[in-house]
Amino acid sequence: MEAIDQLYWWVLIIAGFGTFIYMLFSDVFDMFDGWFNPAVILSFLALGAGIGLILNALAHVSPMIGLAVALVGSFALTTLLYLFVLVPLSNAEESIGLTDESLVGLVGRLTVPIPEGGFGEVLIETVTGSVLKTAQSLDGTALSTERRVVVIEVKRNIAIVMAYDEPTIREEQ
């Protein structure tokens, strides 16, 4: 085995191990963005090592030419991977959960009463699931758990609510 083949194998093993570690601890690496994303760097290394190994085994070209072709090919494939896979995935919607804006106007029930001038908790049930939010009364009055409430707005992840009086049908006289 030539020295360049050993180099390719070591880079491939290290890139594979690094990819595994990145999968486990990817939240730690959130500070890196764009081309310095570890997924981009590790894929560049793994693709370059793989192309280099294949070229040395099948094409029997000079090691320096094989290295140059491996680097160019790895750069091209990594660029395609970044532009057509990683960027669209990073811009995709992360969940089907409710946004704070979509909670405005929804009716919920208090699970923890709101004391005068204090905080409680409201449960808002929708078709996609349930959301618990810290709640505060709009006018600062106390609200008990027997009351249903409507979300007026959401400020700093706190639902501002007011008592909801269920509409009733009046009988005509």
Total Cβ atoms within 10 A of residue 155? 10
Q: Do 20 and 82 belong together in one domain?
A: yes
For residue range 116-126, list pLDDT tens digits in order.
989 999 999 88
Count of domains observed in the chain: 2
Q: Do 104 and 133 belong together in one domain?
A: yes
Q: Which helix (H) or strand (E) holds 133?
A: strand 129-137
Cα 122 from Cα 115, distance rounded (Å): 13
Q: Which helix (H) or strand (E) holds 100?
A: helix 100-103
Last residue of a domain, one of 91, 117, 139: 91
Cα 3 from Cα 77, distance rounded (Å): 25
pLDDT of residue 96: 57
Last residue of a domain, one of 45, 65, 91: 91
Question: Domain of 115?
Answer: 100-163
pLDDT of residue 101: 83
